[in-house]
Structure 1
Amino acid sequence: MYPYHNKIKQRIKNGELKTYFYSNSYPKIGECLVLVFKTEPNYRPIRPYRYHEYLDLLETETKLNAGKQKS
């Protein structure tokens, strides 16, 4: 079994995340949070029941990246 969420969280921490958005009609999933990465695979959908695992991580990484850009 592929450790889907562990790999995604590691990619976020490695600074590979480009952006993210919410979708109401992602193919074969419907509502989800879509993480967009700089490297393949570029798009990674997260189902609503997993949002809570990502919101704090995304907020922290966004602040860290904003600090890096100011330097």
Structure 2
Amino acid sequence: MYPYHNKIKSRIANNELIRWEYVEAYKAISPCLVLYFNTEPYVRPIREHRFEEYEIILKDINL
């Protein structure tokens, strides 16, 4: 199993995150938090049940 969220959090800690936004829908995920990175894979969608977890991390980031 791919450690999806662990890898994303590691990339955020490594300052690879360049932007994030909430969108109504992203592919089959609705609503969605979309994270944009400066390295591949460039876009990572987050499902609603993980929003609170990521909001804690994102509140301390200056973009």
Look up the match of 1:13.
Answer: 13
User: Identity of aligned pairs, percent?
Assistant: 52
Higher Cα radius of gyration: 1
Unaligned runs of 5+ in 1: 66-71
Aligned length, in residue pairs:
63
Amino acid at match of 1:4: Y
Unaligned runs of 5+ in 2: none
Question: Post-superposition shift, 1:52?
Answer: 1.1
1:49 equivalenced with 2:26 (yes/no): no
What root-mean-square deviation, in Å, do the aligned CA atoms of Structure 1 and Structure 2 show?
A: 1.1
State TM-score, norm by structure 2: 0.92
Look up the match of 2:38.
Answer: 38
Q: 1:24-63 CA deviation, whole Å, 9 max, x = no partner?
A: 121111211000000110100001110111111111122x
Structure 1 moving runs of 4+ over 4 Å: none
